[in-house]
């Protein structure tokens, strides 16, 4: 079998656990175990003297070398002021994430005996523009050709939808992972996966449940020993408790109580935590997920989706029995727990696989029709408009099938359409005639992407040199909002050509691509001149820093 298409891997880069998957020769998505023969790898990075260790060993090391270990780095993606210092070298979140990706890829290469070059990486639906860009940069630093960034719930839905591809249905994906909560309504059709609405919080996940247990253990320790000391000030103790809390939480999903012990300053206190107590101290966290779900359902109603067919649970933290019970009680449905740890990576792999097959199709069609590859983008649209003949398509599909060994229907289905929405609104800072600063939203959240919008800007004075555009992100659905209800994510500077008159319209085009990343171009309309736009994002690694990180990553050994 002459493999014509490039293999594209799917990577779930999670807050607490990551995994990698591919589609095997039978068209089935499978997880690739790591060198330790585990199907998921803890997203923990340990900076050892000479090398970098990722995974279980790193996680266990956090107790001994708390200051050399980074966990939950995904929560800091897109955070401009995150900085990890090791041996007087500074590392940003993207770079640390890149090491996790490298580890996954290396182990997969070892396992399959083939190089990992092209990947699809997932990120929470609730990630904003910068976080998405940071995710892509992490992949680039790791040395990959990042084919696509897709949303975790979308990936889960693809994996879920691929089970039985004839059924059309609207599903709610409730994804409670280690660090983020996403609630997404997805319309699964035969040849498309369409996101209707999304909501959530990327600071709400299994870790928050762990933190409550940690706090509880600290209290018990204090009352048992009569000390007032905050034992979490000791990094060793903190890490130790963090790990035991997670273990305890997992046990409590199975059993009504679990013993646990805290050791600090030579004192050891044994305690028992019951499921009841656990649920009591975390109730409000669960309620928040329910609130988000209700809000999202309201928004979906505005889009004409008044009901859903299925409620599926993904993400490791949905294993906590109270979650399922609460959902049953609130929404009167029977939620399905669907492959909570692996669905996302598998869905990403399936998506990557389809991208690969589609590439093959396009290549062949281009040969057949003598059209350049760039001209063939959306095959199904082109067939409909008779730009391509159905006959050519059939032949091309058959050839791809022959070359790859996959069945003809699976090749034909590879033209899966994924429609996504933005999880946040974005806009620009504008001045009202009263000269108050406000945010003027250009794209409201839950708008389908890709989307391109043009806004005119008028020069204020003659020979204006620059225009400063402050790009703001927010979580409302209103057009004008106060400045402090939004976060500044980027600034763009337009460098205008000299000697422009005042009041000249400049057309600025804001494009959110299908990944939810933002591009800005500008044009001076009267002379149809392209205008130079410089986008500055301190929040995402770029320029020299990016190059340095790439170089550093190439020379690094990751275990």
Ligand X SMILES: Nc1ncnc2c1ncn2[C@@H]1O[C@H](COP(=O)(O)OP(=O)(O)OP(=O)(O)O)[C@@H](O)[C@H]1O
Q: Which structure tokens are listed for 68?
A: 């050399």
Residue closer to another protein (CB basis): 112 or 487: 487
| 34-42 CB contacts, 8 Å cutoff, 24+ apart | 34/103, 34/104, 34/107, 35/106, 35/107, 35/110, 39/341, 39/342, 40/14, 40/341, 40/342, 41/17, 41/100, 41/103, 41/104, 41/107, 42/16, 42/17, 42/18, 42/71
Phi, psi of 315 (to 5 degrees): 90, 135
Angle between helices 275-302 and 235-252 (to 10 degrees): 80
Under 8 Å between Cβ of 156 and 344 = yes
Q: Is residue 177 at the binding interface for Mg ion, with CB under 5 A as the rule?
A: yes
Which residue of 9, 17, 91, 238 would you call a contact of ligand X, by CB under 6 A? 17
CA-CA distance, 283 to 268, in Å (whole number)? Answer: 29
d(CA 213, CA 252): 11
How many of the chain's residues bind another protein (CB under 8 A)? 67
Q: Is residue 14 a contact point for ligand X (CB under 6 A)?
A: yes
Residue 78 interacts with ligand X (CB under 6 A): yes or no: no
Q: How many residues bind Mg ion (CB under 5 A)?
A: 2
Whole-number minimum distance, CB 313 to ligand X, in Å?
10
The smaller minimum CB distance to ligand X, of residues 250 and 529, is found at 250
CB 320, min distance to ligand X, A: 5
84-123 residues in contact with another protein (CB under 8 A) are: 84-85
Region of 12-20, 126-134, 201-209, 505-513 interacting with Mg ion (CB under 5 A): 12-20
The stretch near ligand X (CB under 6 A) out of 53-61, 173-181, 438-446, 519-527 is 173-181
Residue 487's nearest CA partner among 541, 539, 411 is 539
Q: Does 515 bind another protein (CB under 8 A)?
A: no
Residue 154 binds another protein, judged by CB under 8 A: no
| Alpha carbon distance 501, 505 (integer Å) | 10
Indicate whether 352 belongs to the interface with Mg ion (CB under 5 A): no
Using the minimum distance from each CB to ligand X, give the nearer residue, 238 or 393. Answer: 238
72 binds, among another protein, Mg ion, ligand X, none (CB under 5 to 8 A by kind): another protein
Compute the distance between CA of residue 273 and CA of residue 254 in angstroms, rounded to an integer: 13
What distance in Å separates the CA atoms of residue 327 and residue 305, rounded to the nearest whole number? 19
Site of tokens 């004839």: 166
Whether the CB-CB separation of 44 and 68 falls below 8 Å is answered with: no
Q: State how far the Cα of 18 lies from the Cα of 195, in Å rounded to an integer.
A: 23
Which of residues 65, 72, 111, 331 is near another protein by CB under 8 A?
72
Taking residue 490's Cβ as centre, other Cβ atoms within 10 Å add up to 21
Q: Considering the complex, what minimum distance in angstroms separates the CB of residue 243 from Mg ion?
A: 19
Residue 236 binding another protein, by CB under 8 A: no
Q: Helix or strand or coil: residue 521?
A: strand
**Helix segments in 165-269, DSSP class H:** 206-225, 235-252
Report cis status (omega within 30 of 0) of the bond before 450. Answer: yes
- Phi and psi based region of residue 113 (left: phi greater than 0; alpha: psi -120 to 50; beta: remaining): left
- 250 is a contact residue toward ligand X (CB under 6 A): yes
Q: How buried is 522 (Cβ within 10 angstroms: 0-12 exposed, 13-18 middle, 19+ buried)?
A: buried
* Number of neighbouring beta carbons within 10 Å of residue 6: 14
- Residue 558 is classified by DSSP as B
Choosing from 254, 334, 452, 456, the residue that interacts with another protein (CB under 8 A) is 456
Residues β-bridged to residue 131: none
Alpha helices in 377-532, H assignment, sequence order:
379-384, 390-404, 408-412
Q: If binding is defined by CB under 8 A, does position 218 make contact with another protein?
A: yes
Of residues 505-534, which lie at the interface with Mg ion (CB under 5 A)? none
Token look-up 């020979």 returns 463
Q: What would the two tokens of residue 81 be?
A: 């002021």
> Can residue 212 be called a binding residue for another protein (CB under 8 A)?
yes
Please state the closest distance from residue 193 (CB atom) to Mg ion, in A: 18
Residue 501's φ and ψ, nearest 5 degrees, are -75, 170
Closer CB to another protein, 245 or 348, in the complex: 245
Which residue's CB is nearer to ligand X, number 78 or number 178? Answer: 178
Q: Which is nearer to Mg ion, 14 or 139 (CB)?
A: 14
Residue placing its CB nearer to ligand X in the complex, 345 or 522: 345
Q: Which two tokens stand for residue 128?
A: 């904003």
Stretch touching ligand X by CB under 6 A, among 99-107, 311-319, 364-372, 476-484:
311-319
Q: Is the Cβ of residue 177 or residue 352 nearer to Mg ion in the bound state?
A: 177
Task: Report, in angstroms and rounded to the nearest whole number, the Rg of the chain calculated over CA atoms.
Answer: 25
Nearer to ligand X by Cβ, of 244 and 441: the residue is: 244
177 binds ligand X (CB under 6 A): yes
Asked if 347 interacts with ligand X (CB under 6 A), we say: no
Residue 328 engages another protein in binding (rule: CB under 8 A): no
Among 34, 43, 61, 71, indicate the residue that binds another protein (CB under 8 A).
71
Residue of the chain from 15, 244, 420, 446 that contacts ligand X (CB under 6 A) = 15
Residue 246 in contact with ligand X, rule: CB under 6 A? yes
Residue count, binding to ligand X (CB under 6 A): 24
Among 3, 24, 291, 309, binds another protein (CB under 8 A): 291
Closest CB to ligand X belongs to which residue?
206
Q: Which residues contact ligand X (rule: CB under 6 A)?
A: 12, 14-17, 74, 152, 177-180, 205-207, 246, 249-250, 253, 315-317, 319-320, 341
Q: Which residues contact Mg ion (rule: CB under 5 A)?
A: 14, 177
Q: Which residues contact another protein (rule: CB under 8 A)?
A: 67, 71-72, 75-76, 79-85, 201-203, 207, 210-212, 214-216, 218-219, 223, 226, 230, 232, 238, 241-242, 245, 277, 280-281, 283-284, 287-288, 291, 295, 424-425, 428, 430-433, 435, 440, 455-460, 467, 474-476, 478, 481, 484-487, 505
């Amino acid at each position: 079998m002459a493999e014509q298409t490039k293999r594209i891997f799917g990577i779930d880069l999670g807050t607490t656990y990551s995994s990698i998957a591919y589609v095997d020769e039978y068209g089935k998505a499978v997880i690739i175990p790591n060198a330790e023969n585990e199907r998921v790898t803890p997203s923990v990075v340990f900076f050892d003297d000479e090398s970098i260790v990722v995974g279980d060993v790193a996680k266990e090391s956090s107790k001994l070398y708390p200051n050399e270990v980074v966990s939950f780095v995904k929560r800091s993606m897109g955070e401009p002021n995150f900085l990890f210092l090791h041996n007087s070298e500074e590392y940003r979140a993207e770079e640390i994430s890149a090491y996790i990706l490298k580890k996954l890829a290396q182990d997969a290469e070892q396992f399959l005996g083939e190089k990992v070059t092209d990947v699809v990486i997932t990120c929470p639906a609730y990630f904003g523009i910068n976080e998405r860009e940071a995710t892509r940069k992490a992949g680039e630093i790791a040395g990959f050709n990042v084919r696509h960034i897709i949303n975790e719930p979308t990936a889960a839905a693809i994996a879920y939808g691929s089970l039985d591809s004839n059924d059309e249905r609207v599903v709610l994906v409730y994804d409670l992972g280690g660090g983020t909560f996403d609630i997404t309504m997805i319309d699964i059709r035969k040849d498309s996966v369409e996101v209707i609405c999304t909501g959530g919080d990327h600071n709400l996940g299994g870790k928050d449940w762990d933190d409550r247990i940690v706090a509880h253990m600290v209290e018990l320790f204090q009352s048992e020993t009569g000390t007032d000391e905050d034992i979490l000030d000791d990094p060793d103790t903190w890490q130790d408790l963090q790990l035991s809390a997670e273990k305890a939480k997992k046990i409590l999903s199975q059993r009504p109580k679990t013993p646990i012990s805290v050791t600090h300053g030579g004192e050891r206190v044994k305690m028992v935590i019951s499921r009841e107590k656990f649920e009591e101290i975390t109730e409000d966290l669960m309620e928040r997920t329910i609130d988000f779900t209700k809000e999202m359902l309201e928004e979906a109603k505005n889009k004409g989706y008044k009901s859903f067919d299925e409620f599926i649970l993904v993400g490791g933290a949905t294993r906590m029995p109270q979650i399922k019970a609460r959902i049953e009680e609130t929404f009167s449905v029977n939620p399905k727990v669907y492959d909570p740890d692996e669905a996302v990576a598998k869905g990403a792999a399936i998506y990557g696989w389809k991208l690969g097959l589609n590439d093959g199709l396009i290549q062949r069609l281009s040969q057949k029709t003598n059209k350049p590859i760039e001209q063939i983008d959306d095959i199904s649209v082109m067939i409909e408009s008779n730009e391509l003949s159905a006959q050519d398509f059939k032949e091309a599909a058959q050839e791809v099938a022959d070359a790859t060994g996959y069945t003809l229907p699976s090749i034909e289905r590879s033209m899966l359409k994924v429609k996504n929405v933005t999880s946040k609104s974005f806009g620009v800072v504008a001045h009202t005639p009263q000269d108050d600063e406000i945010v003027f939203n250009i794209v409201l959240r839950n708008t389908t992407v890709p989307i391109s919008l043009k806004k005119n800007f008028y020069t204020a004075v003659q020979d204006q040199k620059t225009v400063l555009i402050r790009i703001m992100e927010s979580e409302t659905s209103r057009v004008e909002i106060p400045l402090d209800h939004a976060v500044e994510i980027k600034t763009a500077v337009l460098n205008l050509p000299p000697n422009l008159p005042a009041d000249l319209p400049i057309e600025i085009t804001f494009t959110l691509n299908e990944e939810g990343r933002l591009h800005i171009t500008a044009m001076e309309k009267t002379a149809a001149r392209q205008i130079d736009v410089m986008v500055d994002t301190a929040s995402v690694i770029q320029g020299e820093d990016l190059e340095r990180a790439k170089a550093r990553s190439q020379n690094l050994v990751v275990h």
